[in-house]
Amino acid sequence: MKKAMTLSYEVGENLYINLTNQCPCRCEFCIRKNADGAYDSDPLWLEHEPNLDELKENLLKREISRYKELVFCGYGEPTMRMDILCSLAEWLKRNYPNCILRLNTNGLADLFNPSEVPAAERLSLFDKISISLNAGDAETYARVTRPQMPNPEEAYSAVLHFANDCKNRNISVSFTLVDIISPEEIELARQVAESLAIPLRIRKYIS
C-alpha cells in the first residue's frame, strides 16, 4: 500500500478533497481494495489524517475559482471527520462564496458520528450531496456494504432518513448505486429512490 499526503486532486473540471481514510463500511465494490488511488491520482492512502491547517494550506495552493465543483470524497468516508469537514466547508464558503460544494457520502453520519444536531443540518452549507444507496432493502444493503455495527440491517433506514432530511433542507440530493447487485435488487432500489423523489445514478463496477 503506497501512502502520500494527497489532500486534493483534479478530476475533470472538479477538485476532489481527500480528508480521511476512515470508513465504517467494508463495501464489496470499494475501489480501495484494488488500487491506491482513483482517477489517476497519486496515492490516496494518507500518511496521517490531515488537520484543518494542512487542508487549508493545500487548498490555498489551488486556484479555487477555476473549479466547477469542490468534491469532498475521501479515500474513506468524509463524515467520519465531521468537525473538520464542516469547518473546511465553512472556510471555503467564506473565502470563495461562489464555490459549489459537493459531498459524496455513505449517508451514515447520524449513526457513526452522532450529535445533538442532525447531520443534514450540520451539512447544510453543501450545495449537493451524493449518497451511496447501494440497495433497495436493508438486508441487501448490509450484505453489500457491511457496516461495522452490531445490527448492520439497521443502517439502511438511517441512509434513507438522512437523504430525506437533506432534501427537506433544500440540498440537492442524489443517490448512487454500483451495479454489483441483481437486476431485481436494482429495480427495488430504483423504486425506493423514486418514492423519495431523489434521482438515482447507477454506476458500473470497476474492478
Mention every residue, 6+ apart, whose C-beta is less than 8 A from residue 144. Answer: 27, 28, 29, 134, 135, 180, 181
Stretch that binds ligand SF4, among 9-17, 20-28, 114-122, 185-193 (CB under 6 A): 20-28
Stretch that binds ligand SF4, among 24-32, 52-60, 85-93, 157-165 (CB under 6 A): 24-32
Residue 181 Rama label (left phi>0; alpha psi -120 to 50; beta): beta
Q: Which of 7, 17, 19, 27 binds ligand SF4 (CB under 6 A)?
A: 27
Smaller CB distance to ligand SF4: residue 21 or 99?
A: 21
Q: Does 82 bind ligand SF4 (CB under 6 A)?
A: no
Do the strands 45-46 and 8-11 form a parallel or antiparallel pair, or are they unpaired? unpaired
Interior/surface letters 160-187, b for 16+ CB within 10 angstroms, e for the rest: bbbbebbbeeebebbbbbbebbeeebbe
Mention every residue, 6+ apart, whose C-beta is less than 8 A from residue 40. Answer: none
**x-or-dash string of contact with ligand SF4, 131-160, rule CB under 6 A:** --------------x---------------
Q: Which of 4, 10, 11, 32 binds ligand SF4 (CB under 6 A)?
A: 32
Smaller CB distance to ligand SF4: residue 8 or 20?
A: 20
Q: Where along the sequence are the contacts to ligand SF4 (CB under 6 A)?
A: 23, 25-27, 30, 32, 76-77, 106, 145
